[in-house]
Structure 1
């Protein structure tokens, strides 16, 4: 059940004004984001204020570059789950469109942060940019603190293994098959959530029935085979399995697809929502000469995943 109140614009209820506001995409809600949220929670408790998040859909980078399709670490439903864990009271999920992109940075501060939200504390990252042509930054926000009656809080970035923990860094680890490092920086297993679709039933024909999931806008992790944990909606049990993320070169498929084979499960999962947690990268994608070679390799993959 969704506890957090979701708005599509800045016209929030009076009870959600005069609070703490965090602004950003918060894609993945990784350790760096978690540090920011933990600090905001400290302020929430100390000053007894509501905690709100301003985020954008699509991610501005995807809006400005239409060629970027597979970029998200988390979908919106997953974000809601994460925000609930951090006791967020409300979210403004603002549609990022041409009109909104042309708002001057000074107007954004005065019209939205001051007049609409009456923000008391503002949490942003050091590299936060906003307003037309991204002219607004933390220096500008700091400059207008007294005039618009808010306090700017910008915690230092989190550094792990001499690297700043960021969504970009995690995408890079995923794209290079370093799932275990990505999971450490997320503090949980990276997960793709989606509905099971009817496919060509190729897995069933060769003796390994799979659930086909369209990955939509998720970042494309390194194509190949992974060991996974799978949760089925309205089912409290977690199933182990293997997943193939890729183009199935043996079958000349052109669309990227996530195929999941669940261990010790039988039943129809069409149109059911699955949450697939990626544990370990087993091997890269490969084209096989024939079906027998493919079947032998899948058996090896299953043994590796079970180990």
Structure 2
């Protein structure tokens, strides 16, 4: 955002109280009185207010009363498709990572804190960083080639990640696991940013640990080739 010249952003928690605000009150109390907005950029399908009652026509109707100007930028279009958050979420959930990264003009990423797990990866020779996906969009479950960024450290690490439920171990919790190449050290309770570069394969349940290890070694070779 800084590279785009944006000075600041305001993050407002969308709770039950906020969801009850009527569209006119949103314009009067928030846009006019609180933010003192002069120019408002919105797309044609923008909706706001309780039960999505407000729209762009209502904003334009209130321009003079509240002394702001509505500007409607043309939507970004690629290959005859409007680039939208809905399109990108659908691409991610279908494993079309490279295309979604192209539309984002960056690598899709997750930032989260490394937490202690059951250390199953370490027991089979592949120690991983266990990370909670929290409120992120859930991409297609499976294996990915990734790059890892540490806070206050410019060195970019490479690795392989799995997002899923670890069916071979009969687990129920959705988890992001990251195995970092050529790394030794303690990352517990540290924040990492995981950049997703390539989708490798979907999640699969194996009959035994040996089959899993064999597949991981095969995945490692492919991921290293992709990242190089």
Same fold (TM over 0.5): yes
Query: Is 1:163 aligned to residue 103 of structure 2?
Result: no
Equivalent residue number for residue 180 of structure 1: 98
Equivalent residue number for residue 20 of structure 1: none
Q: Pick from 128, 138, 150 the counterpart of residue 220 of structure 1.
A: 138
Secondary structure, counterpart of 2:60 in structure 1: helix
Q: Pick from 163, 178, 185 the counterpart of residue 245 of structure 1.
A: 163
Report the alpha carbon displacement of residue 104 of structure 1 after superposing the two structures with TM. 1.7
Give unpaired runs (5+ residues) of structure 1: 1-81
Q: Do the aligned residues in 2 keep the contact of 1:126 with 1:156 (CA within 8 Å)?
A: no
Report the alpha carbon displacement of residue 112 of structure 1 after superposing the two structures with TM. 2.0
Equivalent residue number for residue 296 of structure 1: 214
Q: In 2, distance between residues paired with 1:102 and 1:214?
A: 31
Give unpaired runs (5+ residues) of structure 2: none
Query: Is 1:267 aligned to residue 181 of structure 2?
Result: no
Report the alpha carbon displacement of residue 295 of structure 1 after superposing the two structures with TM. 0.7
* Structure 1 segment 143-162 matched on structure 2, within 5 A: 143-162=61-80
Q: In 1, distance between residues paired with 2:117 and 2:52?
A: 43
Report the alpha carbon displacement of residue 91 of structure 1 after superposing the two structures with TM. 2.6
Q: In 2, distance between residues paired with 1:199 and 1:99?
A: 37
Report the alpha carbon displacement of residue 219 of structure 1 after superposing the two structures with TM. 1.2
Q: Do the aligned residues in 2 keep the contact of 1:126 with 1:157 (CA within 8 Å)?
A: no
Report the alpha carbon displacement of residue 274 of structure 1 after superposing the two structures with TM. 0.7
Secondary structure, counterpart of 1:90 in structure 2: coil
TM-score for both structures, normalised by structure 1: 0.71
* Structure 1 segment 1-307 matched on structure 2, within 5 A: 82=1, 84-307=2-225
Equivalent residue number for residue 50 of structure 1: none
TM-score for both structures, normalised by structure 2: 0.95
For this pair of structures, how many residues does the alignment match? 225
Q: In 1, distance between residues paired with 2:33 and 2:179?
A: 52
Report the alpha carbon displacement of residue 134 of structure 1 after superposing the two structures with TM. 1.2
Question: More deviation in 133-142 or 98-107?
Answer: 98-107
Q: In 2, distance between residues paired with 1:115 and 1:169?
A: 34
Report the alpha carbon displacement of residue 209 of structure 1 after superposing the two structures with TM. 0.8
CA displacement 1:63-118 (0-9 Å, x = unmatched): xxxxxxxxxxxxxxxxxxx3x33333333322222222222211221222222222
Q: In 1, distance between residues paired with 2:153 and 2:146?
A: 17
